[in-house]
Amino acid sequence: MEAESSSQHWNVHKFGGTSLADPDRIRHVAGLVDDMPRPTALVVSAMGGVTDRLLGLAEAAPDAPDDLHARLQGLCDEQRAVVTDLLSGESAAPLLRALDTDVDDLDDVLRATRLMRSAPETVRDLVAGYGELWSARLLAGVLRAEGMSAVSCNAREVLVVEHGRLGPVVDWAATRRRFADWRAGQDADVLVITGFVASTVDGVPTTLGRNGSDYSAAIFAALLGAQALTIWTDTDGVMSADPRYVPDAQTLDSLTYEEAMELAYFGARVIHPRTMAPAIDHEIPITIRNTFAPEKPGTRIHLEGSGDAVVKGFSTIDEVALLNLEGTGMIGVPGIARRLFDALEDHDVSVILISQGSSEHSICYAVPQSQAEEARAATEQAFYAEMDRGQIQRVEVTPNCSILAVIGDRMSGIPGVAATFFGALGDAGVNVRAIAQGSSERNISAVVDGEDAQRALRAAHAGFYLSKRTLSIGVIGAGNVGAALLDQIGDQVERLREEQDIDLRVRGVTTTDAMLRAEQSVDLGDWRAALADGEPADLEAFVDHVQTDYHPHTVLVDCTASDEVARHYEDWLKRGIHVVTPNKRANTASWASYQALKAASRGTRPHYLYETTVGAGLPIIQTLENLTETGDRVQHIEGILSGTLSYLFNAFDGERPFSEILIQAKEAGFTEPDPRDDLSGMDVARKVVILAREMGLRLELSDVTLEGLVPDALRDGTVEEFLERLPEHDETMTDILRTAQAEGKVLRFVGSVKRDGTASVRLRRYPTDHAFARISHTDNIVRFQTDRYRKNPLIVQGPGAGPQVTAAGVFADLLRLMT
Ligand code: ADP
Ligand code: ASP
Ligand code: MG
């Protein structure tokens, strides 16, 4: 076949149903066409959904449903509305008249079908093709109305195909002749050609099969000797997997024809597999582009691959049945496979995948679900004798399976691809029923249960495309610490991805009222506003969202002070979710529940990290862990563990009354909203319990001797009353201070726990040269006396409060998960 003379450089563009789904999109396409160099041929699909509806009518017709006519009218009314939306008076009139004729014809066909009580394939093909006809006429009309020289072409009049075993085959000679005849009659430089439809040699209307417009486009590109074929759709190109199922799918820069064909064969409907043949024959490069993002380069499909990823794409074929022919009598008997596949071929069963174990004990093959029974019957018939003699035991049929394929030209030479693939499926708990490697070694496919298909697809994709250090994060609580954490992550996320290959994805934020969920990542530049009009909070749904089967790690960060949230940790850990928190509640609940948490987080994963429950961002828990893990024995831990109380006693030097300092601290935001929560010492007591348990002591909160600073008389009542009456107690406080000063000492509010289990929280006096005396602001300080650090205890000191340092500590815990 010879191509069009090269004096005219044709470009062929195909617009799919998604690109033409409504009047606005059609206007948008017209705009794109206006900017294209000439001459150009446009191959169009039916408007999205129209083919399905037409086929639905043809298939329903034999049963004569009451609403058949109304459905046809409805469809046509919509078409009319689209025409009048896009075109006015004179330009709309011929299109509307043509539509009326079509409706009459369709009505006749459906009536005949009803009478015949069956809808043969020819009828279905005839009816299904109207959508393309309508699109082509409409788009040509719109382009003309915009002043372009456009004409529509009904491919049924030019494209001749024969239906072979493997699908439609183009009769190039006849087609070329008819196309030339058609073109002789017109001189427009924009041809708008119907996709999908064709005729047989006898002139019977037919189609190229579902999604066949891509194939049409390639055929017309070949006929016109086009220099390039562009397929416009609704994704940025061919992606590494169907983006509807794999949110992380990435746009591929380039593919070879073979890779594209294999992906398409395994169900990536972004392009039709047969499209490649005419393109390969004429070496016409194909570009898949997004109609709605024309600035993006798209995916180029051509002869040469590019040197990037070894594995390119993943795809699934759903609704297949797996058959297994099994028998000891098969071993060493030649020709079994051939007999089997001959039998299947005789029954027109299409075999999608074959896998034979090297033991030859069984042959496993997959067929479309709809042909499962036929395939079983064909097999049983073929091996009737062997089954009778007991040489073949059975033909087993497993319905409702899916085939998952991983595709890439360069896979063959690279070790480890299969290991990564099956490893990922194994980690996701997907049961693999059969495995096949294409003879081209361009694909590996696995048969899995249908209900596992999506999980399998995501897991396999993640195995190759996601960093192993990808963390799906859910933040619970967006108060001071939660907010600071989200902002800090937002600032660092890019750098971490680039420099450390750590991919932090905050996929959800929830408060008690509202929550925010994102498939990939919440926009951290704008989470406050988004959360303000988020959906109503639902913790269970939130957790289910954050934990997916394709992120290698999931973590919930509890930035609340809630008992309620803390009660879930054990369950989360048991589900394999890491927990990171500054919330002290879980670690200070009963010993039994603490033990349960520890048990759930033992081993390699998941982790339970709570460094910030004591001393905010200071490395206190970790220091203690390092000491005990290396075999040191901790004798005594003592520390100033409350930033608020640290501040109060640093400031209380006798010049001003204690109440005045407290009120000022409250105004500066250094205290809890009710300062009694600080003064009670309860917060410090909790920290003491956390440290004690970390030392290995079985201590309950009630075991801590707590001498708080809230006068008995002021325990009840409102915050205002408390603040108003606090000066009544200034004298007592001043007396305590004077006594200390008289001894050359300062006052510090300290928590302490000893190896023998005695634990206390109270105001103590320290000489001015003691480490605890030489702190400032809201410093925390912890002193570890151990067997190794006996004389000269180990001290950790630094700012121990405030949202920024606490959030930074939580952030550090998050990163620790990734090491
Ligand atoms: P059109 O109407 O333009 O022919 P289709 O709906 O037939 O569009 O095909 C595009 C769709 O194919 C995408 O929206 C996407 O959901 C699906 N798809 C499946 N696999 C892939 C893949 N690997 N890359 C891109 N899209 C894919
Ligand atoms: N309209 C046809 C279909 O829906 C052909 C196509 O869109 O490519 O299958
Ligand atoms: Mg398509």
pLDDT in tens, 239-278: 999 999 998 899 999 999 999 999 998 888 899 989 999 9
What are the pLDDT digits (tens) for 652-692?
999 999 999 999 988 887 888 889 989 999 999 999 999 99
CA 770 – ligand 1 centroid, Å: 71
Q: Quick check: 415 pLDDT over 80?
A: no
User: From the alpha carbon of 291, which atom of ligand 1 is closest?
Assistant: 3
331-389 pLDDT, tens digit per residue, is: 777 788 889 999 999 998 989 988 876 566 788 999 999 999 999 999 999 999 888 88
- Catalytic hit among 687, 745, 754, 791: 687
339 lines ligand 1 (CB under 6 A): no
Average pLDDT taken over every residue of the chain: 93
DSSP class per residue in 166-178: TEEEE-HHHHHHH
| Alpha-carbon dihedral 127, 129, 130, 132, rounded to 10 degrees | 160
Q: By alpha-carbon position, which residue is closest to atom 8 of ligand 2?
A: 211
Task: Collect all residues with Cβ–Cβ distance below 8 Å to 814 and sequence separation of at least 6.
Answer: 471, 473, 489, 504, 555, 557, 580
Question: What distance in Å separates the CA atoms of residue 507 and residue 502, rounded to the nearest whole number?
Answer: 15
Query: Residue 609 pLDDT > 70, yes or no?
Result: yes
Mutation choice for ligand 1 from 32, 232, 233, CB with most ligand atoms inside 8 A: 233
Cβ atoms of 2 and 223 within 8 Å: the answer is: no
Q: Residue 416: which pLDDT band, with cuts at 50, 70 and 90?
A: confident
Q: Is the CB of 210 under 6 A from ligand 2?
A: yes
pLDDT in tens, 427-453: 888 999 999 887 667 889 999 999 999
pLDDT score recorded for residue 357: 66
DSSP 526: S
Other residues' Cβ atoms within 10 Å of the Cβ of residue 451: 11
Q: How confident is the model at residue 306 (pLDDT cuts 50, 70, 90)?
A: low
8 Å CB contact between 533 and 556 = no
Which pairing describes strands 299-302 and 197-199: parallel, antiparallel, or unpaired? Answer: unpaired
pLDDT on residue 3: 47
Residue 217 has pLDDT above 90, yes or no: yes
Mutate which of 47, 211, 291 for ligand 2 pocket (most atoms within 8 A of beta carbon): 211
Tens digits of per-residue pLDDT, 683-694? 999 999 999 999
- Whether ligand 1 lies within 6 angstroms of the CB of 270 is answered as yes
- CA 3, CA 226: separation in Å to the nearest integer? 8
pLDDT tens readout for residues 740-786: 999 999 999 999 999 999 999 999 999 999 999 999 888 999 999 99
Q: In what order do the strands lie in the sheet with 794-799?
A: 705-706, 759-767, 745-754, 634-640, 779-786, 794-799
pLDDT of 112 higher than 50: yes
User: How far, in Å, CA of 482 to CA of 473, rounded?
Assistant: 12
Name the percent of the chain lying above pLDDT 70. Answer: 98
What's at 746, amino acid-wise?
V
- How close is the Cα of 211 to the center of ligand 1, in Å? 10
pTM exceeds 0.75 for this model: yes
**Residue 313 contacts residue 253 (beta carbons within 8 Å):** no
Closest CA to 59 of 137, 125, 15: 125
> Which string of b and e fits 535-559 if b means at least 16 CB within 10 Å?
eeeebeebbebbbbbbbbbbbbbbb
Q: Which residue has the higher pLDDT, 8 or 599?
A: 599
Has residue 6 got a pLDDT over 60?
no
Q: How far apart are CA 426 and CA 768, in angstroms?
A: 62
> Catalytic: 687?
yes
Give the model's pLDDT for residue 1.
44
pLDDT computed for residue 7 by the predictor: 56
On the 0-12 / 13-18 / 19+ scale of CB atoms within 10 A, 420 is middle
